[in-house]
A and B are shown apart, each in its own frame.
Chain A
C-alpha cells in the first residue's frame, strides 16, 4: 500500500509525465474542453426551458420527473449507444454529457423560479411591470442562487463523467484510467482517478467562489 502511494506520488510529480501530447497537461486541457463545452451547451438548452416552465407554471410535472429520469439514465450505456449509431466521432461524448447535465439544470432552474414568493411577483405586477419584465427583473434575480446550484451540480457531474471520452477512444483524463486498466497498471489508473477527482473539486470550488462573488450584496438567506 505504502509502495503504491510512493509510486503514485512519483507518477504524479515526474516532469516527463506532465509534458508532451500524452502528458498530464494535455489530458487536463482535453478534459476541461469536453467538460466546459458540454456544460455550456447544456446550460444553453436547459436554462430557457427551466425559466419558461418556472415562469408560466406549465410543464411543472415534466420538470420534476425529468430529474428522476436523468438520474436513472446510465451514461455508459448512452455513450456506447450513440457511438454505435454514429461511429467514431466526438459526438457520443458530448451527447452523453449534455444529456447528463440538462435535467439537473432544468430541475434546479424550475425549483428556483417556483420558490419565488408569489406576493413578490404580485407586487411587481402591481407597480406596473409586464410579464417579461417580471421574469427578467424580479424572478430571475431571485431564482439565481438556486440556478447556480444547479449549474454547479451539473458541472461536477460532467467533469466526473467526462472520463467516458476515453471509453470511445478520445482523450481526457479517462485515458489514464482506461489504459491503466487495460495494461494492469494500477499506478496509472489511480493517477488518472486522483486527477479527475481534484479537477471536479476545483471546478466546484471555483463555481462556489463565483456564486459568492455574484451575491456578495445579498442577505445570507438568499445565497
Chain B
C-alpha cells in the first residue's frame, strides 16, 4: 500500500473543511450530553431510588450499535446533522452520567455540611461546593466522551454527515488508500488535541488542585 504524499497539499482545503465539519458534529453532541447528564446525575445522586433507573437507562443506550442508532433516528429526524448529533449525544450520556454521579458521591460529607451550616441554600451548595469538588471526576468523563464522539462521527458518513469519515467512503469507493490514511490520522490527531485541551481547561478550573505533587497524584488517581 503506497501513500501518495502529493495528495495532502492538493487537498488541504478539503481536509480543513472536513475537520471543521467533524467538530461541528462532535462538539455540540458533547455539550448537549453535558446539558442532559448534569441534572440527571444530580437527581440520581440526591434521590436514591432513581439512581439505578438513571444509570441503567444510560447503559442500555450504550448497547445500541452506533450505526443502528443513526438509522433508528432517521424516521424522526431525517438525513440531517441533527440525527448525527442526537445519536452521539446518547452515547456520551453513559460516561457523563456515571462519572458525574461518582464525582458527586466522592464529595466529602463534611464539605457539604460546612456549607449548609453557614446557611447556604442547597442549590448554591451544589453549584459552589459540590460540583467544583466533583470536577476532576466529571472532567475525566468529559474527556472520554469527547474522544469517543470524535471517533464515532465517522460512522455518520453513511447518512452524509461523517466529517472526516467522508474520506473513508471516498477512498473505499475509488480503491485509493491515501484519503483513508489521512482520515484515520486526522481523526486520531483531533481526538488527541481535544483531550489535551480539556486537560488544560481542567487545570485552569481547579487551582486548588495545584498543590504538592503528592496531593496531585492521589487526586488524579481518584479521578481516574
Bound-state CA distance A80–B148 (Å) is 19
Identify which of A80, A160, A161, A196 contacts B172 (C-beta below 8 A): A80
Does chain B have a CB within 8 A of A16?
A: no
- Binding-face segment, A71-79, A138-146, A213-221: A71-79
1/0 contact trace for A141-180 toward B, CB 8 Å?
Answer: 0000000000000001001110100010000001001100
Identify which of B72, B151, B155 contacts A72 (C-beta below 8 A): B151
In the complex, chain B residues whose CB is within 8 Å of the CB of A189: 71, 74
In the complex, chain A residues whose CB is within 8 Å of the CB of B9: none
In the complex, chain A residues whose CB is within 8 Å of the CB of B144: 68, 71
Bound-state CA distance A48–B224 (Å) is 23
Q: Which residue of B lies closest to A153 (CB)?
A: B62
Q: How far is the CB of B66 from chain A (nearest CB, A)?
A: 7
In the complex, chain A residues whose CB is within 8 Å of the CB of B71: 177, 181, 189-190, 192-193
In the complex, chain B residues whose CB is within 8 Å of the CB of A44: none
Is B75 a contact of A160 with CB atoms below 8 Å?
no
Identify which of B65, B155, B187 contacts A197 (C-beta below 8 A): B65
Q: How far is the CB of A51 from chain B (nearest CB, A)?
A: 20
In the complex, chain A residues whose CB is within 8 Å of the CB of B66: 160-161
Is B154 a contact of A74 with CB atoms below 8 Å?
yes
Identify which of B151, B152, B180 contacts A80 (C-beta below 8 A): B180
Does chain A have a CB within 8 A of B47?
A: no
Does chain B have a CB within 8 A of A201?
A: yes
- Binding-face segment, A22-30, A81-89, A119-127, A128-136: A81-89
Is B63 a contact of A156 with CB atoms below 8 Å?
yes
Q: Which residue of A lies closest to B175 (CB)?
A: A84
Does chain A have a CB within 8 A of B161?
A: no
Bound-state CA distance A81–B63 (Å) is 26
Is A85 a contact of B184 with CB atoms below 8 Å?
no
Most chain A CB within a 10 A radius of its CB, from B144, B155, B180: B180
Q: Which residue of B lies closest to A159 (CB)?
A: B65
1/0 contact trace for B146-188 toward A, CB 8 Å?
Answer: 0110111011011000001101100110011100110110011
In the complex, chain A residues whose CB is within 8 Å of the CB of B64: 160, 197, 200
In the complex, chain B residues whose CB is within 8 Å of the CB of A64: 224
In the complex, chain B residues whose CB is within 8 Å of the CB of A75: 151, 155
Bound-state CA distance A120–B195 (Å) is 36
Is B158 a contact of A181 with CB atoms below 8 Å?
yes
Q: Which residue of B lies closest to A201 (CB)?
A: B63
Is A73 a contact of B188 with CB atoms below 8 Å?
yes
Q: How far is the CB of B65 from chain A (nearest CB, A)?
A: 3
Does chain B have a CB within 8 A of A186?
A: yes
Is A200 a contact of B172 with CB atoms below 8 Å?
no
Is A71 a contact of B147 with CB atoms below 8 Å?
yes
Is B75 a contact of A200 with CB atoms below 8 Å?
no
Is A197 a contact of B151 with CB atoms below 8 Å?
no
Q: Which residue of B lies closest to A181 (CB)?
A: B158
Binding site for A on B (CB under 8 A): 1, 60, 62-69, 71-72, 74-75, 144, 147-148, 150-152, 154-155, 157-158, 164-165, 167-168, 171-172, 175-177, 180-181, 183-184, 187-188, 191-192, 195, 224
6 closest cross-chain pairs (CB), A and B: A160-B65, A193-B68, A72-B191, A77-B184, A85-B1, A74-B154
List 22 A-B pairs, Cβ < 8 Å.
A68-B191, A71-B148, A72-B192, A74-B152, A74-B154, A75-B151, A76-B165, A77-B187, A81-B1, A81-B181, A84-B180, A160-B66, A163-B68, A174-B67, A177-B67, A192-B68, A193-B65, A194-B68, A196-B65, A196-B67, A197-B65, A200-B64
Binding site for B on A (CB under 8 A): 1, 4, 64, 68-69, 71-78, 80-81, 83-85, 156, 159-161, 163, 167, 174, 177-178, 181, 186, 189-190, 192-194, 196-197, 200-201, 204
